[in-house]
């Protein structure tokens, strides 16, 4: 049904790190969604909802993502879904500290994925995209990482350092 509605690709959640502890949880629907999208002819990317607070945790998440995803032929990038969600990241040492650390944590995740031969992208809201307010997307783009921004509007107010723009949460 999704394919017949004109959907050509999907990013499927592989898992998430819990917000209360560093526990890597695989999405129970991952295999079903991967197999269903392939059967429908929908290109696939895979993402991990991150709560990494440092580079070591980010690499651990990336390793888990790759371990789960490697049994599939993936047509699109592996993605780090980094959100300021009142989870471990922003509660670890306060929001100002978290904002300063986000770029390094994201770069560690993405760089590890790329070192293993996968294209990599970060997914984040425009409110987190900025060198002084969160993730320095210019720095990540300059390091050959792809940037996917979520901004639900008909006009994008983010910098031009993005590869993809999600302009709606519906449809």
- What pLDDT tens digit does each residue of the chain (171 aa) get? 888 888 899 999 999 988 777 899 999 999 999 999 999 999 999 999 998 888 999 999 999 999 999 999 999 999 999 876 666 665 555 556 666 678 888 999 999 999 999 999 988 877 666 655 577 777 777 777 778 777 777 777 656 677 777 777 776
pLDDT score for 61? 96
pLDDT score for 11? 93
pLDDT score for 3? 86
pLDDT score for 25? 95
How crowded is the C-beta side of 123, counted as CA atoms within 13 Å? Answer: 17
**Structure tokens, 169:** 């949460």
pTM for the structure as a whole: 0.86
Residues 6+ apart with CB under 8 A from 168: 152
**Structure tokens, 12:** 């499927």
Residues 6+ apart with CB under 8 A from 110: 62, 80, 120, 121, 122, 140, 143, 145
pLDDT score for 148? 78
């Amino acid at each position: 049904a999704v394919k017949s509605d004109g959907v050509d690709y999907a990013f499927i959640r592989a898992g998430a790190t819990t917000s209360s502890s560093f526990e890597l949880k695989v999405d129970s629907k991952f295999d079903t969604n991967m197999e269903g999208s392939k059967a429908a002819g929908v290109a696939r990317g895979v993402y991990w909802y991150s709560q990494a607070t440092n580079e070591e945790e980010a690499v651990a998440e990336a390793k888990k993502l790759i371990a789960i995803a490697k049994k599939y032929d993936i047509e699109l990038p592996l993605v780090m879904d980094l959100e300021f969600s009142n989870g471990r990241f922003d509660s670890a040492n306060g929001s100002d500290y978290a904002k300063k650390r986000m770029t390094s944590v994201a770069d560690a995740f993405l760089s590890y994925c790329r070192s293993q031969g996968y294209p990599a992208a970060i997914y984040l809201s425009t409110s987190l995209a900025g060198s002084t307010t969160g993730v320095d997307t210019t720095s990540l783009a300059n390091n050959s990482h792809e940037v996917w921004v979520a901004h639900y509007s008909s006009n994008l107010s983010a910098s031009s350092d993005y590869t993809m723009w999600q302009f709606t949460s519906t449809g």
